[in-house]
Structure 1
Amino acid sequence: MKRLLLILASLMLLAPAAPAYAAGTLTWTADDGITAYKSAPTTATAGATTIVFENSAATGNTTGMPHTLTFDTSTEGYNHDVSLNILANPFDAGNGRHEATVTLTPGRYRYFCSIPGHSTMVGEFVVTDGPGPDPDTTPPTVTAAAAGTQDADGNYVGTATVTVTAADNTGGSGVKTVEYSLDGGAFQAYTAPVAVTAAGSHTFRSRATDNAGNVSAVGSLSFAVVAPAPDEDTTPPTVNHTVAGTRDTDGNYVGSATATLTATDDDSGVDRVEYSLDGAAFTAYTAPVVVSTAGMHMLHYRATDKAGNTSAEKMAHFTVVPAEEPDTTPPTVVAEVDGEENENGAYVGRATVTVTANDTESDVATIQYALDAGAWLAYAQPVVVTGLGAHTVRARATDTAGNTSPEQTVTFTVVGTGSDACEVPDTRTTVIIGGDDTGVPNSDTGDGCTINDLIDEYASYPNHAAFVRHVETVTAALVAGGTLTKRQQGTIVRAAARSDIGSLVR
Structure 2
Amino acid sequence: MSPRLIAVLLAAFLAWLGLTTPAMAAPVQTLTWTANNSTTDYASAPTGALPGETTIVFENSEATGNTTGMSHTLTFDTSTPGYNHDVTLNVLANPFDPANGRHEAVVTLTPGKYRYFCTIPGHTTMTGEFVVSDGGGDTIPPTVRASVTGDKDPSGNYVGSATVSLTATDAGSGVASVQYQLDGGSWTPYPAPVVVSSVGMHMVHYRATDVAGNTSAEAVEHFTIVERQGDRTPPTVTASIAGSQDASGDYVDVATATVTATDAGSGVAAVEYKLDGGAWTAYTGPVPVTAAGMHMLSYRARDVAGNTSPEGMAHFTVVKSDTTAPVVTASVGGTRDADGNYVGKAVVTVTAADAGSGVASVEYRVDGGAWTAYAAPVPVSSPGAHTVGYRARDVAGNTSPEGSVAVTVVAGGDTTAPTVSMQVSGKQDGNWNYVGQAAVTVTATDPESGVDFVEYKVDSGAWTRYVAPVVVAALGSHTVRSRATDVAGNVSAEVPGTLTVVAAAPPPDACPSSDTRETVVIGGLDSQVENIDIGNGCTINDVIDENAEYASSDRFVKHVKAVTRELVADGVLSPGDRNRIVTVAIESGVGGPPAAGRGPDMKKRW
* TM superposition score normalised by structure 1: 0.34
Rg larger in structure: 1
